[in-house]
Amino acid sequence: MIACPAGSALAARAQSSGIPVFTDVRFRKANHPGSFIRDVIALGRLARLEAFDCLHTHGSQDTWATVCARWLFGLPAPILMTRHNTKPVRSHFFNRWLYRRGIDRVVVVSGGALEQYRRFFDEGILDTERVPVIHSCVDLERFAKPPCSTRIRRELGIGVDIPLIGLIGRVSKDKGHLVLLEAAPRILKEFSDAVFIFVGHEGPILGPVVREIIRKKGLEKSVRLLGFREDILDITAALDLSVLPATGTDSSPAVLKEALLFGKPVVASRLGGIPEIITDKEGVLVAPGDARGLAQAIIAVLDDRGKRVTAATEKFPERFTPAFMCSAYLKVYEGMLNRGGRNFCSSSAGS
């Protein structure tokens, strides 16, 4: 059963797949104490009624609500938390209690996310051997039908010989749109007909900033903002190059794995879990925020366009497949249940 806010994309997808959904929760930020208390009570009642064997959380709000619900209702089910980003984990009293006593197991989606717990490892609160890395997967069933790369180029009025560079992801500072815009004029000096597409929700804050930069730099013909799209596979298949100049919290980005599956070269930041996905066989990694280095890498890849052989065309990495991810999580679940679940994140607890 999935607990998530009513009207969310997750709720809709789960319901369409026949998965039971509980939507009497909001999981709002910490500055909504009333909503938090209601979530705690709703989750506690649900878990006591359903007698779940395991509770699996994926973010800060749902983790704290679940931990408090277990304490308030005396629930026996162990709690597993998956950490999905590479934001720093602050070592304050509440977090130390959370990882020592509140939850029973932690999974991270990349080695970059694992490094954020370094202080917890040093203090003996967590044990690296008991915090496995399980990368998120690519839904291979979505690729059962071959994508249509020519449709996107026709839609945009772009010929097959024109270099098409894509940054797929919500328009935010962390994704590096501003870095790519800074690099764009250097790239256009070498490839004057190149087209950059930004695919993803613009948002009310950075979206207008990006549009203004495009206007000031005179990039209206070279940079296209496509907004939120459902046809990401067709878009990826149409690209000559997938770019992710992240500056923030990309722990295990799916867009890079999809590029690998299509055999598309990648230029991305050497940040978080990205180096675990992209090697020098599949692309080029640059320092976060380095617009000049980004431009040089993109130019080098475009110069080699059509000749670059990527590992993705040979064999998609097994560790990014659904079967591998599910098997890894099942082992974690079984380990929790076999050991009674409770508090074996550190080497001293539960031993």
Q: State yes or no: pLDDT of 146 exceeds 80.
A: no
Total count of domains within the chain: 2
343 in any annotated domain: no
215 in the same domain as 94: no
251 in any annotated domain: yes
164 in the same domain as 290: yes
294 in the same domain as 145: yes
The answer to whether 132 and 328 have CB atoms below 8 angstroms apart is: yes
**What is the predicted pLDDT for the residue at 220?**
96
Which residue did the predictor score with more confidence, 280 or 188? 188
Task: Domain of residue 65: give its range.
Answer: 2-137+322-338
276-301, pLDDT tens digit by residue?
A: 999 888 889 999 999 999 999 999 99
**What is the predicted pLDDT for the residue at 349?**
44
Please give the share of the chain, as a percent, with pLDDT higher than 70: 94
57-108, pLDDT tens digit by residue?
A: 999 999 999 999 999 999 999 999 999 988 889 999 999 999 999 999 999 9
280 in the same domain as 224: yes
109 in the same domain as 49: yes
**What is the predicted pLDDT for the residue at 30?**
80
**What is the predicted pLDDT for the residue at 225?**
96
61 in the same domain as 168: no
**What is the predicted pLDDT for the residue at 104?**
94
**What is the predicted pLDDT for the residue at 309?**
43
Three-class DSSP labels, the chain: CEECCCCCHHHHHHHHCCCCEECCCCCCCCCCHHHHHHHHHHHHHHHHHHCCCCEEECCHHHHHHHHHHHHHHCCCCCEEEEECCCCCCCCCHHHHHHHHHHCCEEEECCHHHHHCCHHHHHCCCCCHHHCCECCCCCCHHHHCCCCCHHHHHHHHCCCCCCCEEEEECCCCHHHCHHHHHHHHHHHHHHCCCCEEEEECCCCCCHHHHHHHHHHHCCCCCCEEEEECCCCHHHHHHHCCEEEECCCCCCCCCHHHHHHHHCCCCEEEECCCCHHHCCCCCCEEEECCCCHHHHHHHHHHHHHCCCCCCCHHHCCCCHHHCHHHHHHHHHHHHHHHHHCCCCCCCCCCCCC
302 in the same domain as 173: yes
185 in the same domain as 174: yes
Residue bearing tokens 């797929």: 168
Q: Rounded mean pLDDT of 232-260?
A: 91
Strands 79-83 and 105-108: parallel
240 in the same domain as 114: no
Q: State yes or no: pLDDT of 55 exceeds 80.
A: yes
**What is the predicted pLDDT for the residue at 298?**
96
330 in any annotated domain: yes
**What is the predicted pLDDT for the residue at 142?**
76
The pTM assigned to this predicted structure is 0.84
71 in any annotated domain: yes
Tell me the C-alpha to C-alpha distance, in Å, between residue 321 and each of 17, 70, 87, 264.
19, 33, 25, 18
293 in any annotated domain: yes
Q: Rounded mean pLDDT of 302-316?
A: 61
279 in any annotated domain: yes
**What is the predicted pLDDT for the residue at 351?**
34
263 in the same domain as 306: yes
92-96, 166-170, 258-262: lowest mean pLDDT where? Answer: 258-262
149 in the same domain as 105: no
Q: Rounded mean pLDDT of 32-49?
A: 96
244 in any annotated domain: yes
Q: State yes or no: pLDDT of 341 exceeds 60.
A: no
**What is the predicted pLDDT for the residue at 350?**
39
With a CB cutoff of 8 Å and minimum separation 6, the contacts of 4 are 10, 11, 14, 21, 22, 23, 25, 27
345 in any annotated domain: no
Q: State yes or no: pLDDT of 125 exceeds 70.
A: yes
122 in the same domain as 49: yes
> Which CATH number is 191's domain given?
3.40.50.2000
Distance (Å, rounded) from C-alpha 59 to C-alpha 173? 21
